[in-house]
Structure 1
């Protein structure tokens, strides 16, 4: 019987290794494309909690909402949606107008206590730990405490918070990683830009990195951390430095889409026309950039849906019902093929359909 020479054995092993690697890469590509396909369809409403008579329960109750800042369009639109939901049910809902100063947040909590509201909600990224003494006093006065659109689903809420309308930031991270992998034909060299001072950024970025490593263990990735108050001064320079240090970067993932306005000039100055960019939030001016071709993709979420889901959670707290762990807002991919459905110019709530409105009204016993 003929024996295999060492050279032939080595060649056979090399071929087998290459075939295995190609198979793994094909499996990863199929998995990434499946993640993307799952988030292309206009979402349908699926209730996360049991039906209840919201109008009867909330007849003598009220909610006082403190957004992180009403200078942020995201917070303005989220508050409008929450107000619409409260009006549908018929209870008092008050937004504390502020520009993001901590002393104003404190005044808001004090106002909620003084006027004997039933619940105080911290919305749009305001971390309750920053107001711990005041919120604990509010609880002692009989108010419930909730947060809206702050925590990732994997994060634990503060001990004095009664319920949190959480967001699946990790899922958004999976989508961004899958998109970069597919767009670069399985060879991503990615610059991720985040802000560690924003509470959900840590799990968000972790998921992007984990997903990229799963798809492609040998592919390159790096992380640029820029605090929110330094976006305007450090994102452009940091991106330019990264591109200069590694001209092979072929995709940039700023985790919050308002960052893209500072990445775009860095790409232009660096002459990096072939570098793709995708992000998350569905901010209108970024959706316009998607439609115009400046940004490749933006993962959006309906703030109308988010507002109704947040009010659902608040009412369940006050009605003594089990509260869903998540806002349950579907994530929808906007790219060149469907960006126009978000409006021209884009807005915060178009393109997602409106099944949530009738869905929540039925869930709350407002219609059959």
Structure 2
């Protein structure tokens, strides 16, 4: 059954985010895939040059919430637990560092606990947070079902939880102790497919290495597929399912898929952490005509783009996400309504990568996506500037 996409995406400059990476340790990659030629009743053409140019531009300003938060100084000295699914993903490191900086600005301390991609470790982290009487818990890319007992126990103990970087689970709606900060990865897929459709002049045969762990990655690809069917009816998309818990299988499954269909001319690594093994699979075929793109790019992926492979990448503002997650945690702690957030994303190619400073400091500042003034804006909201 095809996954149901929960959100309707705007084709203009929709600033949603991507990159939810869900790992389940011990799960092997499911090779072979899911192939479909896109057909469209409307017969619309690929994205216009203007649309792509807009997707490649930085923001004029970040979408910082406007509702001020009173009493933020009352949380000083309390501890927030940050639990990423796995610290192996570079994006989570960026969010961890900026969340820590944001929390410090509000007088909070941050305790980081690596989920290591396993239910046991994630549950252990949640248990530590509950036993320590944390002020709040922020999870990153962890499905609720993967850690339901620990998440339920934390909330029962009065500890609010921010579920970040996941498609919201309708069976666990937002409440006084739970909020979702979704980063709809479908936007990144739309932008990559737009670029591929334009680059191929509407004749692309795409292989995507899609994460097979959890529901969110499949939903992101479904969103991209839906848009592709309208923008590029003559394009073909094949899904090769992979997992971060077993990188060793990714090169061989990629090369096998390419050998099975030698007409594939674009390969999409859904998340940057799959990029190197994906490129390895392409190299195993000895083909030099295949163009590789990637989603959820961080500093390493951006440097690779500047070097020539991948040829296109999307990235989300993980630095901004750290401040957003802190804002959500503060509002839950203080019993205030949590606003809707959007995390910027941007398309990068050889045409704009030269305008980006490829340093860790630049990545942590958020300047790749717009003016790096949002930190001061959040401090003003919290009354701590």
> TM-score by structure 2 length?
0.79
1:33 and 2:49 are equivalent in the alignment: yes
How many equivalent pairs are there?
338
* Deviation for aligned residue 1:67: 1.9
Unaligned runs of 5+ in 1: 1-20
* Deviation for aligned residue 1:281: 1.0
Match for residue 270 of structure 2 among 255, 280, 286: 255
Residue equivalent to 2:137: 120
Match for residue 204 of structure 1 among 189, 198, 220: 220
Give the Cα separation in 1 of the matches to 2:45 and 2:86. 41
Unaligned runs of 5+ in 2: 1-38
Residue equivalent to 1:331: 345
Give the Cα separation in 2 of the matches to 1:114 and 1:276. 50
Match for residue 312 of structure 1 among 327, 331, 338: 327
Residue equivalent to 1:292: 307
- After TM superposition, what 4+ stretches of structure 1 lie above 6 angstroms from structure 2? none
Residue equivalent to 1:5: none
Residue equivalent to 1:356: 374
Give the Cα separation in 1 of the matches to 2:232 and 2:125. 48
* Deviation for aligned residue 1:210: 1.1
* Deviation for aligned residue 1:345: 8.1
1:73 and 2:90 are equivalent in the alignment: yes
CA contact under 8 A between 2:197 and 2:235: conserved in structure 1?
no
CA contact under 8 A between 1:236 and 1:266: conserved in structure 2?
yes
DSSP 3-state at the match of 1:281: coil
Give the Cα separation in 2 of the matches to 1:364 and 1:28. 46
**Which structure is richer in relative contact order (CA contacts within 8 A, separation 6 or more)?**
2
* Deviation for aligned residue 1:271: 3.2
Question: Aligned pair in 2 of structure 1 residues 184, 217: CA closer, same or farther (>3 Å)?
Answer: same
Further displaced range: 98-107 or 264-273:
98-107
DSSP 3-state at the match of 2:67: coil
CA contact under 8 A between 1:301 and 1:331: conserved in structure 2?
yes
**Rg larger for:** 1
Residue equivalent to 1:183: 199
CA deviations on 1:209-233 (whole Å, 9 max, x unpaired) are: 1111112223322111112223x22
Give the Cα separation in 1 of the matches to 2:161 and 2:195. 37
Higher helix share: 1
Matches within 5 A, 1:41-60: 41-43=57-59, 44-53=61-70, 55-59=72-76
CA deviations on 1:137-178 (whole Å, 9 max, x unpaired) are: 2222211122122x136x536358710111021211211111
Match for residue 261 of structure 2 among 246, 251, 254: 246
CA contact under 8 A between 1:287 and 1:346: conserved in structure 2?
no
Give the Cα separation in 2 of the matches to 1:351 and 1:146. 25
> TM-score by structure 1 length?
0.83
* Deviation for aligned residue 1:101: 4.4
